[in-house]
Amino acid sequence: MKIAYMTNGFSSNLNNSYEFSRRLTQAGHEVIYISPIDIADRVQQNGFQCIVLGEEIELEQKLQQNWRSANAISNWAKNRKLIQQQRKRMLSAAELSQVLDTVNPEKVLIDIELHYMVIVCLAHAIPCFLISAWFSIFRDQENLPPMHTFLAPPANESQRKNIQTIWDQEYKSKQRRRARYWFKHYLKAPINPKPLSYQSLNTVDLELVAKQMGVDFQAVADFSSWLRPMTFKKLPILVLNILEMDFPHQPDTRLNYVGPMICTHRHDPITSPDSLAEWSSLQRQYQSGKKKQSLMYCSLGTFWKTDKNFLLRIIEVVKQRSDWHLIIGLGGKSKASGFENIPANITLLDWAPQLEILQMADVAITHGGISSINECVFFQVPMLVYSTEHGDQNGCAARVAWHNLGIMGNKKEDDQAMIESHLDTLLNSATIRSNLAEMRSHFVTYKNDDLAIKLIEQSSSTCE
């Protein structure tokens, strides 16, 4: 079976996709990537073909070229015309439709936030499966907290009402955002139009695409979930997590927990030669037994810029502990050269080979991204989670604490003494390590059951 994998190219989603695609290939299927981001080299180095949609990339290049000339009014007029032409092409989905006709996939896997691409696939009547790395995004009898909160399941009626209120606020916030989209479209767009993106979250644009493609937008769109701005009413969602790590609840019928996709042999061309050399030297010292310090790994994500002040707080903690060694992965958002007076027991890497480090680490300090959390569980590394409070990170941190797989820290309040105390607790907690071992056994069970492959082979869904 030929399967198209449509991805937004985010590092965590890409890493998940490599393992998913590897399993599909092992099952005898052909996987072809389609992305609006130029990730072709990265995908190809992991053994898969990738088609890059060039509409947005080419427009950006033309817009930048026009702005280099001196005549501002003329540039504005030229760019306005370019954007209007791009919107017309995107509304008709000319580029993506042509790619789909060429590839002719029997089924499509789509990152859950690529709503435009979902609508086009529905118009082509291709069975679609949404790929999500989040835990439940649906309301469950007002007992399941939304993913952006630190809340645990309610223990009393007051807490239950509080969760219900937060869900209501989220829904009203979505309604206000949709109203703003309509306002901008009818009052601002005629004068100053914006390009239409493959990753658009603008519900007005998405509805216009659906209308152009002959898809009943109101019939397929679901605005009641946590996901902004929407998801789809009937499409199955493959959740790359295990139900046992979520809060207790009865999942929505669209959700299929298929287990994490951790590609332990992925090729990551982003890691710089200098970072690899520095890590390799340290790795050899640990493997030979020359270095016996407890090894800690800290990464605060690859999507948002690293909080340097908070990293300096962690550095001050470890600086005082000669029995610890800390590796900090800066995620490509900061440079090691930007830090001064770094002690010998701390290694800064512009981009860290995370899986290799976790195989040897005793503790991990993480930002609450679910991919990093799953990798810590896979390698049974206790976690100190300091959420950067983006997206679902608060909810992920709350689940780590709920299942006692680590500690949920408070980035705003934890001083150096508290951070050191948390790390000492994680290094010495047999209970946390036992819980990690049990959770990892669930990972293995999900992988052996191969539920994701079975669902794709046996199911079809075009939202009909």
From first to last of its 464 residues, the chain has per-residue pLDDT tens of: 999 999 999 988 999 999 999 999 999 999 999 999 999 999 999 999 999 999 988 888 888 877 666 566 677 788 888 999 999 999 999 999 999 999 999 999 999 999 999 999 999 999 999 999 999 899 876 689 999 999 999 999 999 999 999 999 998 998 888 888 887 777 766 778 889 999 999 999 999 999 999 999 999 999 989 998 999 999 999 999 999 999 999 999 999 999 999 988 877 656 677 778 888 889 999 998 888 899 999 998 655 566 788 999 999 999 999 999 999 988 766 676 678 888 999 999 888 889 999 999 999 999 999 999 999 999 999 999 999 888 899 999 999 999 999 999 999 999 999 999 999 999 999 999 999 999 999 999 999 999 999 999 987 655 44
- Is 2-235's fold the same as 273-445's? yes
Q: Write down the architecture of domain 2-235 according to CATH.
A: 3-Layer(aba) Sandwich (3.40)
- Which stretch of DSSP H or E encloses residue 276? helix 273-288
Q: Yes or no: say if 456 and 129 are a contact pair by the CB < 8 Å rule.
A: yes
- Which stretch of DSSP H or E encloses residue 324? strand 324-329
List beta partners, residue 110: 6, 130
Task: Tell me how far apart the alpha carbons of residues 97 and 115 are, in angstroms, rounded to a whole number.
Answer: 15
Domain boundaries defined on the chain: 2-235, 273-445
Mark residue 289 as left, alpha or beta (left: phi above 0; alpha: psi -120 to 50; beta: remaining). left
Mark residue 462 as left, alpha or beta (left: phi above 0; alpha: psi -120 to 50; beta: remaining). alpha
What's the whole-model pTM score? Answer: 0.92
Task: Tell me how far apart the alpha carbons of residues 216 and 410 are, in angstroms, rounded to a whole number.
Answer: 45
Q: Yes or no: say if 390 and 304 are a contact pair by the CB < 8 Å rule.
A: yes
273-445 classified as CATH 3.30.9.10: no
Burial of 162 (0-12, 13-18, 19+ CB in 10 A): middle
- Sequence-separated (6 or more) residues with CB below 8 Å from residue 152: 145, 247, 398, 401, 402
At 42, the amino acid letter reads R
Query: Tokens in use for 87?
Result: 């919107």
Is 175 in a helix, a strand, or coil? helix
